[in-house]
Amino acid sequence: MSTLLSLLDAFDELPQARDVRERTYQGLGDAVVDVGCGGGRAVGELLARGVRAIGIDMDADMIAAAVERCPTGEFHVGDATALPLDDGSVTGYRADKLLHSLPEPELAVQEARRVLAPNGRAVLTGQDWDTFLIDSDDPALTRSLIHARAERVSHPLIARRYRNLLLDTGFTDIVVEIHTIVWTDATALHMLANIGGEGAWLDEQTARAREDRLFVALPIFVVSGIRAD
């Protein structure tokens, strides 16, 4: 299993993360494309609800994992800015933890509008990479590690722009929600290792988890809009 898929699994298996996903499924209709589908978890959950769900990801290894995990799903290797779908062919569009990784995220939102039927709903969800909240004995070092991790992605602050991206692309009825995921135990350590790497800082966080003194919080943005033609 890839490191990225392991990180996604660790996050997505949290009860709080499951609750956020449930919010993203609301109002998507009966034909949904999940762009940046990763290991196919959302596609499987939508299929279980009787929805036709299509998973698309640029990473062929992710698609292979998705097919293995959800063999009844429909999956394609594809570009978020050039989806292999006809105009107006889906009632719902979902992009979770995706736009921060794209060179031109606005093109993906334009593509969302193209593939959505009139009155279809787009849902953009993900984190602001600058807003990890981590209790630490060395706040200055923690801030520097968070900022350094944010700089490793193309658009670390894109979640702040979700609303305006939808407005700029002609979506209406924009709804903005922020849900905060909180960790107080060792389930956060995989993610913290991805931020700080091995060493004294991670050792401190590991000790905090062992002593029931760990605190990590991460706001997740869920922003939706309607293609109203």
pLDDT digits (tens, 9 = 90+) for 76-114: 999 999 999 999 999 999 999 999 999 999 999 999 999
Query: Rounded to whole angstroms, how far apart are CA atoms 115 and 113?
Result: 6
134 strand-pairing partners: 216
Q: Could you say which residues of the chain have pLDDT below 50?
A: none
As its CATH architecture, domain 3-128+154-181+222-227 has 3-Layer(aba) Sandwich (3.40)
Q: In sequence order, what DSSP letters do the residues of 125-175 get, joined into one string?
A: EEE-TT--EE--S-HHHHHHHHHHHHTTSS-TTGGGGHHHHHHHTT-EEEE
Q: Are 102 and 159 in contact (CB under 8 A)?
A: no
pLDDT score at 7: 79
pLDDT score at 13: 86
Q: Which residue has the tokens 């392991």?
A: 6
Q: In sequence order, what DSSP letters do the residues of 3-46 get, joined into one string?
A: HHHHHHHHHHTSHHHHHHHHHHHTT-TTEEEEET-TTSHHHHHH
Q: Where are the domains of the chain?
A: 3-128+154-181+222-227
220 strand-pairing partners: 127, 179
pLDDT score at 2: 65
pLDDT score at 51: 96
Q: Which of 153, 154, 122, 132 is nearest to 11 (CA)?
A: 132
pLDDT score at 1: 52
pLDDT score at 62: 93
